[in-house]
A and B are shown apart, each in its own frame.
Chain A
Amino acid sequence: MSYSLTVNGQVRHVDEDGQTPLLWVLRDTLKLPGTKYGCGIAQCGACTVHVDGQPMRSCSLALEAAAGSQIVTIEAVDGPQADAIRDAWVARDVPQCGFCQSGQIMSAVALLRSVPKPTDADIDIAMSGNICRCATYNRIRAAIHDAAGSAQS
């Protein structure tokens, strides 16, 4: 079956089984590999994308459920919060292996859009769905605070 979805601003038509996880549609069909497979069961958050502005785990979202939605991936997420987050990530040298960071950044950008000045408790709530086995959590936390400061203007 064919489904239409808007990915990073472009309307894409995808001819796949409606039960295919959005993750594999993005990675294999649309060749957007920035969104990662980490666990496949919505435990690790490496596959986080924005669906109609909300962070979602693309491994747990069926193509047929995503059809018609506006999807934004790490490759195209933009705006003042995204810029501030990326700048802070680089300035702090947050990544180690980096594999989880696409998902971390997508969650962090969504957090800042929703809560411009997050507290540590806000960060715990929004970011606890994203696993980092390199345990870069402290730098992630610090970078979110940095970005919250710089994205104010």
Chain B
Amino acid sequence: MALVIAAIVLVLAIVLRPQPLPEAQALPANHRSIETAQLRPAAAFATITDPAVRSVALFEEAGRVIQHPRCMNCHPRTDRPTQTDAMRPHMPWVTRGPDNAGAATLRCTTCHHDANFAASGVPGNPKWKLAPIEMAWQGKTLGQICRQILDPARAHMGRDQLLQHMAKDELVGWAWHPGGKRTPAPGTQAEFGALIDAWLKTGARCPA
């Protein structure tokens, strides 16, 4: 054994003999920008003359945000959120708990704080928590989500509050500033809010 190791060391010494190393030099910065998808503005739907059709079209455009992983991950159909653009189960295993902010002994705040944290890559927001189970979106069609949003019993909010939630809520707004390598939701929260506003004003029609 000792001889074998001695022989190996000798071989490695030859293979790994010193090689010249480069000197430091000026290099261009490597930009790694994350591409942000655009939303069609609400005004772009004005060409659709039938208000019902326009309403559905507006919601379908807003649906690109609603069904984006940044939003869906926190609207799970179980007690466990999902993560990443692939929407895989949250790791480690966590559960929503009584207030949707984690079990008493494993709170969301064990890891998530008021702001995204670059050093650990863990996202954060002062209101970090799951949507209530009645607001589960995962596994539903956009039409089902639409009708659910409009049902005060499940959405826990009227239309004014709904617009407020979509257009102004700071946790919803996180979806456009998710930090790390996460893909932001399309467009901006203001553009999304304008789509929701226009949808509500056109009769809040839902896709099939």
A touches B (Cβ under 8 A): yes
Interface residues of A (CB under 8 A from B): 19-21, 40-43, 45, 54-57, 59-62, 65, 110-111, 114-115, 122, 124-126, 128-129, 131
Would B122 and A60 count as touching, CB distance under 8 A? yes
Would A43 and B119 count as touching, CB distance under 8 A? no
Q: Which residues of B contact A54 (CB under 8 A)?
A: 107, 109-110
CA distance A126 to B102 in the complex (A): 10
> Which single member of A20, A62, A110 contacts B113 (CB below 8 Å)?
A62
Q: Which residue from chain A places its CB closest to the CB of B105 in the assembled complex? A: A126
The main secondary structure of chain B at its interface with chain A is loop
Would B106 and A125 count as touching, CB distance under 8 A? yes
Q: Which residue from chain A places its CB closest to the CB of B95 in the assembled complex? A: A125
Q: Which residues of B contact A62 (CB under 8 A)?
A: 113, 115, 117, 119
CA distance A65 to B115 in the complex (A): 9
How near does chain B come to A133, taking the closest CB pair, in angstroms? 14
Would B106 and A129 count as touching, CB distance under 8 A? yes
CA distance A70 to B110 in the complex (A): 15
Would B106 and A59 count as touching, CB distance under 8 A? no
User: Which 10 pairs from chain A and chain B are nearest by CB?
Assistant: A126-B105, A42-B111, A60-B120, A128-B93, A129-B92, A60-B122, A125-B103, A60-B111, A21-B119, A42-B122
Q: Which residues of B contact A124 (CB under 8 A)?
A: 93
Q: Which residue from chain A places its CB closest to the CB of B119 in the assembled complex? A: A21
How near does chain A come to B116, taking the closest CB pair, in angstroms? 10
Would A56 and B119 count as touching, CB distance under 8 A? no
Q: Which residues of A contact B120 (CB under 8 A)?
A: 21, 40-42, 57, 59-60
Q: Which residue from chain B places its CB closest to the CB of A63 in the assembled complex? A: B119
Would B121 and A57 count as touching, CB distance under 8 A? no
Q: Which residues of B contact A129 (CB under 8 A)?
A: 92-94, 106, 110-111
Q: Which residue from chain B places its CB closest to the CB of A65 in the assembled complex? A: B113
Q: Which residues of B contact A57 (CB under 8 A)?
A: 110-111, 120
**Does B153 sit within 8 A of A, measured CB to CB?**
no
How near does chain B come to A8, taking the closest CB pair, in angstroms? 20
**Does B114 sit within 8 A of A, measured CB to CB?**
yes
Would B105 and A110 count as touching, CB distance under 8 A? yes
Q: Which residues of A contact B105 (CB under 8 A)?
A: 55, 110-111, 114-115, 122, 125-126
How near does chain B come to A126, taking the closest CB pair, in angstroms? 4
Q: Which residue from chain A places its CB closest to the CB of B114 in the assembled complex? A: A65
Q: Which residues of B contact A60 (CB under 8 A)?
A: 111-113, 117, 119-120, 122
How near does chain B come to A24, taking the closest CB pair, in angstroms? 9
User: With A65-B114, A126-B103, A128-B93 as given contacts, are A41 and B109 in contact (CB-CB < 8 Å)?
Assistant: no
**Does B8 sit within 8 A of A, measured CB to CB?**
no
CA distance A114 to B105 in the complex (A): 7
Q: Which residue from chain A places its CB closest to the CB of B92 in the assembled complex? A: A129
Q: Which residue from chain A places its CB closest to the CB of B121 in the assembled complex? A: A41
Most chain A CB neighbours (cut-off 10 Å) among B106, B118, B121: B106
**Does B104 sit within 8 A of A, measured CB to CB?**
yes
Would A19 and B113 count as touching, CB distance under 8 A? no
